[in-house]
């Protein structure tokens, strides 16, 4: 008899197998007990028929408590009524560890309660599905950039400089020297691009602001590619191919998880079609004003504006060339306009807003030096970054994708970061 995982049940129809599981829920009648089981790979139902087992086993099945761990032995059958498609007719149960008073019962719980018990909430279906999809996005990311000829080039988490300004930096006293938790690996990726051509980093980044919405997280993970000899238009081509690739990979490998979340796969399929629409910031302002938004040129977009723009096209949409005053110092100025920079944000539909921010990078040494000073930053801290403009500088572009942001969009969830298994973390989202 073979021991298998639940996810492999389809390979063992009409076979007797053994599976290590936890009990998530149960119900019973006089002649049958239905056990809802999980093993970390999937959820499915085990059925205990009173007529086919001993009286002792049937009574034991009826008395099992939620999250009891055990081995179940039985025959795998197809079950077209369930989302998973298979179930087990149980012939024997071997309890490993009993439990009682499990706090997350099969009823509605408030988000605050779930946050306080997130180390256990991980076992529930929705966090399970979200984290499985997260894993697929990560796997597909490595696959995509590997196929595209990128080198993974990890940036430090402790840094001495700020690519996005100093107001949101976590300060650290690093042996009597000022250091900060990284806001972004981008500046380091630019150095990598001039060594390897195309690089990307994938790691944690931080903002010294309280997390009050899904758009503002204290800690989040960023994928940050940087490409030498590349202008903005070519970068946009890579960005949309990357997003389409991630969506297709989730569709190909996470149908079960998407069904748990009731995510409409036909909607997701639309997002695999490229190219995505592209409009200028100027055109975006005109669209918003025509829709009676109270917004003037030069203002940044909030969630309502981003939602309207993306839903207007019913696709992810690039908004190009924002006002210079809204963007960081390193972005390349527009060749014919002094008021905008060469950049783009990719806005996701369905109310999820910006998921990518990117730009062509400034290459003029003197321009960058003046922008660094104007931002109130110390040029000495950026001497190495300025060196990149002195020794063989080339046109180069890059972008950053927030992993949590694309995950909330793909899953239509509000509390993706709350699935991390540590209670009372600062990084909390609220409805």
Q: At 68, phi and psi to the nearest 5?
A: -60, 135
User: 419 pLDDT exceeds 60?
Assistant: no
Is residue 116 within 8 Å of residue 418, measured between CB atoms?
A: no
Angle at 216 between CA 201 and CA 139, to 5 degrees: 35
| pLDDT top residue among 16 and 169 | 16
184 pLDDT tier (thresholds 50, 70, 90): confident
411 pLDDT tier (thresholds 50, 70, 90): very high
- Pick left, alpha or beta for residue 197 (phi over 0 → left; psi -120 to 50 → alpha; otherwise beta): left
Element containing residue 317 per DSSP (H, E):
strand 317-320
pLDDT digits (tens, 9 = 90+) for 83-97: 899 999 999 999 999
User: What are residue 181's DSSP bridge partners?
Assistant: 158
| pLDDT top residue among 430 and 114 | 114
231 pLDDT tier (thresholds 50, 70, 90): very high
CA separation for the pair 205, 161 (Å, rounded): 13
Q: Which long-range contacts (CB under 8 A, 24 or more apart) does 106-114 make?
A: 106/24, 106/25, 106/66, 111/415, 111/418, 111/430, 111/431, 114/418
- The residue-averaged pLDDT of 160-183 equals 77
Is residue 278 within 8 Å of residue 236, measured between CB atoms?
A: yes
Give per-residue burial for 139-174: e unless 16+ CB within 10 Å, then b: ebbeebbeeeebeebebeeebebbbbeeeebbeeee
Sign of torsion over alpha carbons 399, 404, 407, 409? negative
Q: What is the pLDDT of residue 188?
A: 94
Is residue 354 within 8 Å of residue 401, measured between CB atoms?
A: no
What mean pLDDT is reported for the chain?
A: 91
CA separation for the pair 343, 323 (Å, rounded): 9
| pLDDT top residue among 162 and 292 | 292
Give per-residue burial for 286-312: e unless 16+ CB within 10 Å, then b: ebbeeeebebeeeeebeeebbbbbbeb
Length of the chain as a residue count: 431
User: 353 pLDDT exceeds 70?
Assistant: yes
Domains of the chain with CATH codes? 2-97 (2.40.50.140), 118-419 (3.30.930.10)
159 pLDDT tier (thresholds 50, 70, 90): confident
Q: What is the pLDDT of residue 234?
A: 98
User: 152 pLDDT exceeds 60?
Assistant: yes
Q: Is 420 exposed, middle or buried (0-12, 13-18, 19+ CB in 10 A)?
A: middle
User: What are residue 180's DSSP bridge partners?
Assistant: 159, 171
Residues 6+ apart with CB under 8 A from 39: 5, 6, 19, 20, 21, 22
- The residue-averaged pLDDT of 237-251 equals 98
Q: What is the pLDDT of residue 418?
A: 40
Is residue 83 within 8 Å of residue 60, measured between CB atoms?
A: no
Q: Over pLDDT 70: what percentage of the chain?
A: 93
- The residue-averaged pLDDT of 392-402 equals 97
CA separation for the pair 225, 223 (Å, rounded): 7
User: 303 pLDDT exceeds 70?
Assistant: yes
Report residue 234 as tokens.
């070519």
pLDDT digits (tens, 9 = 90+) for 98-138: 998 899 988 888 888 888 888 999 999 999 999 999 999 99
User: What are residue 362's DSSP bridge partners?
Assistant: none
Chain mean position to CA 215: 12
Looking at residue 211, what DSSP letter applies? -
| pLDDT top residue among 37 and 161 | 37
Q: What is the pLDDT of residue 426?
A: 37
- The residue-averaged pLDDT of 275-288 equals 98
| Strand pairing report for 32-38 and 16-28 | antiparallel
Q: Which long-range contacts (CB under 8 A, 24 or more apart) does 171-175 make?
A: 171/208
Distances in Å between the Cα of 318 and the Cα atoms of 122, 151, 214, 276 are 35, 26, 21, 7
Looking at residue 299, what DSSP letter applies? P
User: 208 pLDDT exceeds 90?
Assistant: no
């Amino acid at each position: 008899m073979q021991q298998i995982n639940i996810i492999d049940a389809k390979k063992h129809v009409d076979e007797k197998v053994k599976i290590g599981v936890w009990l998530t829920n149960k119900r019973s009648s006089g002649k049958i007990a239905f056990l809802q089981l999980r093993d970390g790979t999937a959820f499915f139902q085990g059925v205990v028929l009173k007529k086919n087992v001993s009286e002792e086993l049937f009574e034991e099945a009826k008395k099992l408590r939620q999250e009891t761990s055990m081995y179940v032995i039985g025959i795998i059958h197809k079950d077209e009524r369930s989302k998973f498609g298979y179930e087990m007719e149980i012939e024997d149960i071997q309890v490993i560890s009993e439990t009682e008073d499990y706090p997350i019962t099969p009823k509605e719980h408030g988000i605050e309660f779930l946050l306080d018990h997130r180390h256990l909430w991980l076992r529930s279906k929705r966090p399970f599905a979200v984290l499985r999809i997260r894993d697929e996005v990560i796997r597909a990311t490595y696959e995509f950039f590997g196929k595209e000829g990128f080198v993974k080039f990890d940036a430090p988490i402790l840094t001495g400089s700020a690519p996005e300004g100093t107001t949101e930096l976590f300060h650290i006293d690093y042996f009597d020297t000022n250091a900060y938790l990284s806001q972004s690996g981008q500046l380091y990726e630019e150095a990598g691009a001039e060594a390897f051509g195309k690089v990307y980093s994938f790691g944690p980044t931080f903002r010294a602001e309280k997390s009050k919405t899904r758009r503002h997280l204290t800690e989040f993970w960023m994928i940050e590619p940087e490409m030498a000899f590349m202008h903005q238009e070519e970068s946009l081509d890579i960005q949309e191919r990357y997003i389409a690739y991630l969506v297709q990979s989730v569709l190909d490998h996470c149908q079960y998880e998407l069904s748990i979340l009731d995510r409409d796969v036909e909607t997701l399929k639309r997002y695999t079609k490229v190219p995505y629409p592209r409009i200028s910031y100027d055109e975006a302002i005109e669209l918003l004003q025509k829709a009676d938004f109270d917004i003037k040129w030069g203002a940044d977009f909030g969630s309502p504006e981003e939602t309207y723009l993306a839903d207007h096209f019913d696709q992810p949409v690039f908004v190009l060339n924002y006002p210079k005053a809204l963007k960081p110092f390193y972005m390349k100025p527009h060749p014919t306009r002094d008021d905008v920079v060469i950049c783009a944000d990719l806005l996701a539909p369905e109310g999820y807003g910006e998921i990518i921010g990117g730009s062509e990078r400034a290459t003029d040494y003197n321009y960058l030096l003046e922008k660094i000073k104007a931002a109130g930053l110390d040029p000495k801290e950026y001497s190495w970054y300025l060196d990149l403009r002195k020794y063989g500088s080339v046109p180069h572009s890059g972008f950053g994708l927030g992993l949590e942001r694309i995950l909330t969009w793909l899953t239509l969830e509000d509390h993706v970061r709350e699935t991390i298994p540590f209670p009372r973390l600062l990084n909390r989202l609220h409805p």
